[in-house]
Structures are given as C-alpha cells and as structure tokens.
Amino acid sequence: QLSTSQPSPERVPSPEEQEWAGPEALCPGWLEDEAPDGEVPGDSGDPVDCATHAYERLQSALCQEGLPPTLDCSTEPRTGFGPLDMTICILGSPTPFLPVLLEGGTRCPGAMVLCLPPTWASRVPSEASPGAWSLLLSRGVSFKVGGHSALETFVPPRRANYVTGTFAPGDPEGGWVGGLARGLDCPTGG
C-alpha cells in the first residue's frame, strides 16, 4: 500500500540550482600543474605536451571513477612479449575508451594498452603481410583487474594485434591516430 504522508517541507534544489563544486572536489590537486597563464597543456602540438595532457586526462577520469592512479613502472621495462601474446591497442584519448579499457583489463589483464602520443608507437614493414605495416608499442598504459593501470616501457617493442582509437574528423588527435592505424596487418576499427 502506498503511503499518503505529506511530502517533506524541505525542498530539494534542482540540478540547475545546485552549486557545482567542479572537478577539484572530485580529485583534489588535479589543477596544480596548470600553466600560469591558463593555457591548456597539449595545445602546443609538442608530443611531450600532448602525452602529458592526455596522461593528466586519464588520471582525472580514473579519479572521477574512484579508481587508483596509474603506477609509473616505466623505469623497469617489460620484456618477453612474443607473436602469440595478445595486445589490444587503443590510440589517442583515454576518455571515450575508459569503459573498454577497464573491462578489457578485467577479462584479459595486461592485454589492453593505451597509447597516448604518437611517439609511443612505430610502424614497421609487416613480416606476415607484404605491403602492410605492423604497429609496435615502445610504451603504453596497460590495464589490469580492479581498474589498476600501469605506465610501462616494452623492450623489445610490443606488437599490436588489434588497434582502435579516436579517428573522428576534427579531433586534434585524429590525424596522428589515423596515420598510425593506416594499412596495418592487424584488425583495425574506430
């Protein structure tokens, strides 16, 4: 039976009336590295700035989801990847692919690798498909169970078995993502 009690005299403010605390409330300190003039890092076109800005976006997204920050394991290179090891590479922005990265990290720990700037990957002629290219990752953010992620260096570079990314026209990263993904010897989708 439904209750016929009177609604509470306290009125809940609408979303438009509520004051938004901003991202600083979700993840304190995330703005500490902002440039003094307010310029957004990564706008310069410099690959280092691009990587830094994308990495900061990843950390912000992880924080907003209540997940641990990415561990920097890049000083201890990961080795031993062979042609049978699965590597699913996502090129570009982490934000649209975060659910895929997290689920992939749960189902295939370490197989999901996020490549943030073009300098972390290289194209080499394919040994298996003449006229095609293989994508090799020298660095990436890998995802594991529980939303854990790690920035890793791969020695020798790790071969991508599947590639996707932010191919959207007009996306600032779309150009380099499309360039790396063109003519690969592995399945590619966007």
In 99-120, which positions are buried (b, 16+ CB within 10 angstroms) versus exposed (e)?
eebbebbeeeebbbbbbbbbeb
Q: Which residue has the higher pLDDT, 20 or 78?
A: 78
Mean pLDDT of 81-101: 89
> Which pLDDT belongs to residue 6?
46
Mean pLDDT of 103-126: 94
What is the domain extent for residue 138?
Answer: 70-181
Which pair of structure tokens corresponds to residue 161?
Answer: 């078995």
Q: Does residue 46 lie within any of the structural domains? A: no
> Which pLDDT belongs to residue 170?
59
Q: Does residue 9 lie within any of the structural domains? A: no
Which pair of structure tokens corresponds to residue 146?
Answer: 């529980």
> Is residue 178 within 8 Å of 167, Cβ to Cβ?
yes
DSSP code of residue 33: T
Q: Does residue 48 lie within any of the structural domains? A: no
22 pLDDT exceeds 90?
Answer: no
Between 24-28, 55-59, 70-74, 113-117, the lowest mean confidence (pLDDT) is in: 24-28
> Is residue 144 within 8 Å of 150, Cβ to Cβ?
yes
Q: Does residue 187 lie within any of the structural domains? A: no
Q: Does residue 34 lie within any of the structural domains? A: no
* Spatial separation of the C-alpha atoms in residues 47 and 179, rounded to whole Å: 15
Q: Does residue 128 lie within any of the structural domains? A: yes
* Cα-based distances in Å from 67 to 58, 98, 108, 148, 155: 11, 11, 18, 7, 28
Coil vs helix vs strand at 138: strand
Q: Does residue 77 lie within any of the structural domains? A: yes
pLDDT tens digits along 31-57: 333 333 333 333 345 556 777 888 999
pLDDT tens digits along 88-97: 999 988 888 9
- Taking CA 182 as the corner, what is the angle to CA 177 and CA 188, rounded to the nearest 5 degrees? 80
> Which pLDDT belongs to residue 162?
95
Between 73-87, 133-147, 163-177, the lowest mean confidence (pLDDT) is in: 163-177
Looking at the structure of the chain, the number of domains it has is: 1
> Which pLDDT belongs to residue 84?
77
Average pLDDT, the chain: 77
**What value does the CA radius of gyration of the chain take, rounded to a whole number of Å?**
21
> Which pLDDT belongs to residue 80?
85
pLDDT tens digits along 7-21: 444 443 343 333 333
Q: Which residues contact 181 (CB under 8 A, 6 or more apart)?
A: 91, 135, 163, 165, 167, 188, 190
102 pLDDT exceeds 90?
Answer: yes
Q: Does residue 123 lie within any of the structural domains? A: yes
Mean pLDDT of 158-180: 80
* Spatial separation of the C-alpha atoms in residues 112 and 108, rounded to whole Å: 7
- Percent residues over pLDDT 90 in the chain: 55
